[in-house]
Amino acid sequence: MYAQAYANNDLAFIRWSYDQKIPQCLGFCLERIDKATGVATILPAWVGFENQKNEQWKAQDTSIWPVQKFNWRDFTATRGKTYSYNVIPMVGTPGNLKQIADKSLHLHTNEVTLSPGSGNIKAYFNRGIISTQSVSHAIEGPNHTPSSPKLMTSIQTPGNELRNRLMGQIKDALMEIIQEVKTKGGECYAALYELNDPELIDGLLSLGKKLHIILSNAGANGDDDPNTNEDNLPEDQRSSRRRLHDAGIDITDRILGNGHIGHNKFLVYVNSQGKAEKVLSGSTNWTYTGMCAQTNNAILITSPELAKSYLDYWKALKADDAEQSADFRTNNDEVHPVNIAPTKIDCWFSPNTTKKTKPASNPAAPGDMAEVFELMEKAQKSIQFLAFQPGSPSILTKALEIQQANPKLYIRGAATDAKAVNDYNTSLLASESNKIDTVVAASNIKDQFSYWEQELLKASNFAHAIIHDKIVVIDAYGDNPVVITGSHNLGYKASYANDENLLIIKGNKELANAYVVHVMDVYDHYRWRYILQSSPSMADAYHGLKTTDVWQDWYFKQAALQNSKPEPKPKAAPKPKAKKAAKAE
């Protein structure tokens, strides 16, 4: 038996295991203990037992509506605080539950702090999933259906409660280098793909002559629009660009077209002595949908050596009048190793291939993807990932190859690209290597049933990204974990066609913990919805908590709790008296 907690800046993730089924257990009550005060708070739940209702979508304690699974995500924890958790089996009948008398079955976790991390590397994650019941209720329109226009108005409005909730701390991360220039002096060098968020635009404009920006865009018809030019950009993108030009900002318009995009999202801080110090990278576009309506991450790394590599690449981008010239590509085809002891980083830039377009058959492996694939092949226990539309070959095709060769390796992932995910799972079923929920596609509840209202999958009919992260975490709980992140879509096409940056970060356990919490949060959210879509009818779908202990059977039959016990071993601690459920976020 064990219980373990993990956290990043956005949420806490708790998982636990028992050696065998607990007779008469109808689920678990979860208590969160605040280290600073010693106060325990029973976590809330919104889904009750079968044949019950929650029409007002009001929370109940998990002592009343217990958790019928072996992991949970705490979205109600306060950022910056340190917590541990109690996991308590509840027995009895609905409406008359009590804690199991056997105290040896009461589990307690280690302590975790909701933080972007310590040291020179900090990671931030947004709460950009809109296919949630909370969002559906917040933007409810006619006939109890979620309103896309209401969502779009909310996320474009600075100070809006829903906007703030969905973006979490991601705006703070994007603005950190801007704030550093304003308080310490120096300059900011930015390479961005898309820009339309009002607060972010104002932040950039506030730097005046201290800002140097390369701004790229896709055309009105998306990344592969062959006619991309400044005239056919979406109006909000043209407006943002005009504001920068009109303000006299040092701006370079990098509009590539023909299936090529300037896909970077990075900033470099150069101090008042002219020395590069810090880099911001990640998957987050500087748009209101990027911050609020897609899953995204941002990473801040303080390292003069890494910052100089990014600054040199920025200068090469600015000088590349030929638009991804042969010399530019050749110079990018080398790794930039950086040591921030005990962490080691390999940094790659794109495009880095001789050919400008990925061949339809037998494409040569780009150097960056070759390293990514090699690290995936060396995985000892796990590969976990999030992707948008990586194409092929990509981390998705490589994960399939690895899973078929080693069915026991723990592989979990989620992607926006539903066809690629379905192809992945069809291949696994054909080889009898695994089950259909190893990798899942972003999915939503399409129609109201039981406790659930209809959900939006994406912000509007014109939106493309849902899961927008580009993340691979290898052996997250091992001695030498690997985190792969950046703007790169993690497929060959990005290396051949796009301006990109890719970070391969080795040996940083704190960072791996933060990223894998985000991956499993997104995976866990979409997994049930993905499976639900394969159900023959809503009548066969889950309708609430089971009223007997039969709910446990699936977990033990599937050997879902056979993962090795993670370190460190949870420490026992007394359980303070609990109070009422926390307010839902």
Which range among 178-187, 226-235, 309-318 shows the weakest confidence by mean pLDDT? 226-235
Report d(CA 381, CA 165) in Å as an integer: 34
- The long-range contacts involving 52-59, CB below 8 angstroms and separated by at least 24 positions, are 52/94, 52/544, 53/451, 54/451, 57/133, 57/134, 57/137, 59/581, 59/583, 59/584
**CATH for 2-114?**
2.60.40.10
Q: Are strands 410-415 and 211-216 parallel, antiparallel or unpaired?
A: unpaired
**Residue 491 β-bridge partners:** 394
Domain 121-534 in CATH 3.30.870.10? The answer is yes
Checking if the pLDDT of 563 tops 70, the result is no
122-144 pLDDT, tens digit per residue, is: 999 999 999 999 999 999 998 88
Three-class secondary structure assignment of 374-418: HHHHCCCCEEEEEECCCCCCEHHHHHHHHHHHCCCCEEEEEECCH
Give me the phi and psi of 385, to 5 degrees please. -150, 160
Look up the pTM and report it: 0.93
The pLDDT of residue 221 is 53
* pLDDT digits 0-9 by tens, 394-452: 999 999 999 999 999 999 999 998 888 888 877 776 655 555 578 999 999 998 888 99
Domain boundaries, the chain: 2-114, 121-534
Question: CA of 437: how far to CAs of 133, 383, 407, 544, 584, in Å?
Answer: 22, 14, 14, 21, 28
Q: Is pLDDT above 60 for 583?
A: no
Single out the residue of 1, 337, 52, 293 nearest to residue 165, CA to CA.
Answer: 293
Nearest to 334 by CA among 359, 316, 360: 316
Q: Output b/e per residue, 148-182; b: 16+ Cβ within 10 A.
A: beebbebbbeeeeebbebbbbbbbebbbbbbebbe
190, 239, 240, 245, 250 from 230: Cα distances, Å: 19, 11, 12, 13, 17
> What integer pLDDT is reported at residue 432 of this predicted model?
54
End-to-end CA, the chain: 30
322 pLDDT more than 90: no
Backbone angles phi, psi at 404, to 5 degrees: -65, -35
